[in-house]
Amino acid sequence: MPIHITIDDAPKREDRKVLERAIDDFNARTVPYSQHRFAILMRDADGTLVGGLDGILYWDWLFVDNLWVHDDLRGLGHGRDLLARAERRALEHGCHSAWLETFQALAFYRKCGYGVFGTLPDYPAGQTRYFLSKRLAAD
């Protein structure tokens, strides 16, 4: 069977999904896999999104994919609250730990109890990407 290899600078979403499903199927043959994606959203009185967190629960871990609070609302505890809510949700679903990555909010995550387990220098250039984790505990 002839194989043709190409480089696609604008891969179709469908092709990326096929790759993702194929990897998930491969992993599921050796490690049971299920995931639950969720979001915790903050909206103002007009319904405009002003902050939120989305994450994925899988393999008994919470992965914090995105955490954002509008500039005007930073420093008021909203980010900490969103993260705490996500951690509680993870505990309710049987997760024991959480992890995330950042290059701009290291001090914030450290204040929230996360510790660095890895770094990637110059990603992006001149910055360091930090990989952090936290063992979750019921209050």
Return the structure tokens found at 22: 């194929």
pLDDT in tens, 11-48: 999 999 999 999 988 988 888 778 899 999 999 999 99
CA distance 27 to 133: 22
| Residue 88, number of CB atoms within 10 A of its CB | 13
Return the structure tokens found at 110: 């450290």
Cα torsion 135, 77, 50, 100 to 10°: value is -20
pLDDT of residue 123: 96
Which letter does DSSP use for residue 117 in this model? E
- Of 97, 18, 24, 13, the C-alpha closest to 55 is 97
pLDDT in tens, 111-130: 999 999 999 999 999 999 99
pLDDT of residue 14: 96
Cis omega (within 30 of 0) for bond into 124: yes
pLDDT in tens, 46-80: 999 999 999 999 999 999 999 999 999 999 999 99
pLDDT of residue 108: 97
| First vs last C-alpha separation in the chain | 58
| pLDDT at residue 138 greater than cutoff 80 | no
Statement: the pTM of the whole predicted model exceeds 0.75: yes
CA distance 83 to 40: 9
Write down all domains in the chain, each with its CATH number in brackets.
Answer: 13-98 (3.40.630.30)
